[in-house]
Every structure is written in structure tokens, then in C-alpha cells.
Amino acid sequence: MAEFESNMEFKGKSNPSTMATSFFNRSLTIHSSKSSPKDFAPSSSRFYYSFESMKGKVKQLCNIFESSREPKSVLHETQSQSLTQASKLKSVKSMGPGYHRYIFGFSNNGIRLPGTEDRIVVYFTSLRGVRRTFEDCYAVRMIFRGFRVCIDERDVSMDSAYRKELQSVLGGKTVSLPQVFIRGNRVGDAEVIKQMFETGELAKVLDGFPRRQPGFVCEACGDVRFMPCGNCSGSRKVFDEDEGVPKRCLECNENGLIRCPDCGS
């Protein structure tokens, strides 16, 4: 017991210096941690001022680039306008001499549709099997409807007789739809009509045709141009009382439809 107390006294005599040094070091570390925000305060203010000066320089550079970019945009617009005008002139020239011959009253390639000298005939399809063909047919029909002229629309998908008629006129050639005939002369397909519409020549060609009232819709067929057959009610079959057997109706087409008597004739 005496030895333990002597050891404790020895340790107590030797420990105060080490305890003082450790406490002194701890006080220094605490003091340094408390003084660190003061040390960083000047650097943060310098960083703030440098950031503001950098922002001002960036604004100056943006103003310089924006001012130099304005005349380029104006030049780009003028160049695009000149290119569009040149493309229109090129498209008109690419149509060939047949286009100019038709405008001056000559037939295009000698192809004519007899009995249609007083009307506009458009062969088209209402089926959406081929998207490009349907879009071309729809665009041509909307162009003519925009002029409010009466059109003889012949849907080859609703009546196969129109397809056979077009093939006989073109000599059995396979052509793309739509096909347009004006005053009995073949004008061409959708590309020709679009080019004539863009250049303003289509309005000159259509001058003299009767115009419809704005928003006109046929009350009989709703501008479909076809109606169910009144003889067979669209069934394509009629009952022969003399023979007592059903027979094929001769007044409608293969779909049991007839042309609208008000707008399709």
C-alpha cells in the first residue's frame, strides 16, 4: 500500500508538466480553430470582388458578340429570301416547255379527256394505304377548294370505272395519283399543281370558272360525291319478280354506290 502511494506521488510530481503542456497545446488548437474564420474573411471578400469584376467582363463580351451578330442575321435572312426566289424560278423552269404551252392554251403532251372541256377533273384516291399518295391527293383537292371552283372529283378507290377510264386515257400507263385535267387538257400530278399555285399561274388558268359560296357543302352527300343506290339500297342485288331470282343491280357500282345527282354530275 505504501508502495502504491509512493508511485502515485511520483506520478503526481512528474505529471503536472505533461498535463500543462497538453493543456497548452489544446488551448492553442482551440485558439487556432476560433481564429480561422477571421483568416478566411479577407480571402472571401477578395473572391467576391474578383467574381463581380469577372461578371462585368462577361457582360461586356456578350454585348460585343451580340452587336456583331445582328448584321449577320440580317444578311442570313436576305440570303434565304434570295435562295427561295431562285428555287421557285428553278422549279418553274424544271417543268419543261409543256407547262408554258399549257398556259398559252396548248394541250400537255397531246393527252386529252373527252367531254370535260368545261370543267376541272381530278382523279384521286381516298384510301390511306400509301401515305404520300393520300397527302398529295388531299393537298391538290384543298388547293382547288381554296379557289372555290367546282371540281369533278373522281375517286378511283370508290369506283373502279374511274381507274379504267384514266388508264385508257393515258394509254395503259401506270401513273401516280392525283391526275388533274383542266378544260380537257392533262395538266399533271401534285407537283405540277403545287408549282403552279406557288407561282400564281394556277389562278390565271382558273379564271373564268364558276365560283361557289364560301363554306358550301352539298346537302345530299356531304361532299362525298357518292350516295347509296336507291334501287338496291347498296346491296347490289335486286329481286326479279318474273324469274323469281335475285340479280345484280345495274344502276350502282361494285360498292353499291352511285354518283351524287346534285354535285357529282
- 188 and 122, same domain (yes or no): yes
Mean pLDDT value across residues 44-62: 57
- 127 and 193, same domain (yes or no): yes
Mean pLDDT lowest among 124-128, 137-141, 216-220 = 216-220
- 187 and 209, same domain (yes or no): yes
pLDDT at 206: 95
Domain hosting residue 208, numbered range = 109-216
- 141 and 152, same domain (yes or no): yes
Q: Which of 27-36, 92-101, 227-236 has the highest mean pLDDT?
A: 227-236
- 192 and 228, same domain (yes or no): no
The number of folded domains in the chain is 2
Does 254 map to a domain? yes
Q: What digits encode the pLDDT tens for the residues 171-227? A: 877 788 999 999 999 999 999 999 999 999 999 999 999 998 888 888 888 888 999
Chain CA centroid to CA 167, Å:
33
The answer to whether residue 160 scores a pLDDT higher than 90 is yes
pLDDT at 174: 78
Residues 9, 2: Cα–Cα separation, whole Å: 11
pLDDT at 215: 84
- 188 and 212, same domain (yes or no): yes
pLDDT at 222: 87
- 155 and 182, same domain (yes or no): yes
pLDDT at 51: 54
Does 144 map to a domain? yes
Q: What digits encode the pLDDT tens for the residues 77-111? A: 445 555 555 554 444 444 444 444 444 343 456 78
Which residue's entry shows cell 378507290?
157
Contact 151, 120 (CB under 8 A): yes
Domain CATH number, residue 141: 3.40.30.10
- 237 and 179, same domain (yes or no): no
Contact 255, 155 (CB under 8 A): no
- 229 and 159, same domain (yes or no): no
pLDDT at 110: 75
Does 204 map to a domain? yes
pLDDT at 244: 87
Contacts with 216 (C-beta within 8 Å, 6 or more apart), sequence order: 148
Write the DSSP assignment of the chain as a string of letters.
-HHHHHHHHHHHHHHHHHHHHHHHHHHHHHHHHHHHHHHHHHHHHHHHHHHHHHHHHHHHHHHHHHHHHHHHHHHHHHHHHHHHHHHHHHHHHHT-HHHHHHHTT--STT-B-TT-TTSEEEEE----SSHHHHHHHHHHHHHHHHTTB--EEEETTT-HHHHHHHHHHTTT---PSPEEEETTEEEESHHHHHHHHHHTHHHHHTTTS-BPPTT---TTTSS-SEEE-TTTTTSSEEEETTTTEEEE-SSS-TTSEEE-TTT--
- 190 and 227, same domain (yes or no): no
- 119 and 168, same domain (yes or no): yes
Does 118 map to a domain? yes
Which of 75 and 181 is assigned the larger pLDDT?
A: 181
Does 83 map to a domain? no
Does 8 map to a domain? no
Which of 143 and 58 is assigned the larger pLDDT?
A: 143
Neighbours of 103 (CB within 10 A): 13
pLDDT at 19: 47
Mean pLDDT value across residues 121-135: 94
Does 152 map to a domain? yes
Which of 76 and 147 is assigned the larger pLDDT?
A: 147
pLDDT at 109: 62
- 238 and 167, same domain (yes or no): no
Does 87 map to a domain? no
Residues 40, 36: Cα–Cα separation, whole Å: 6
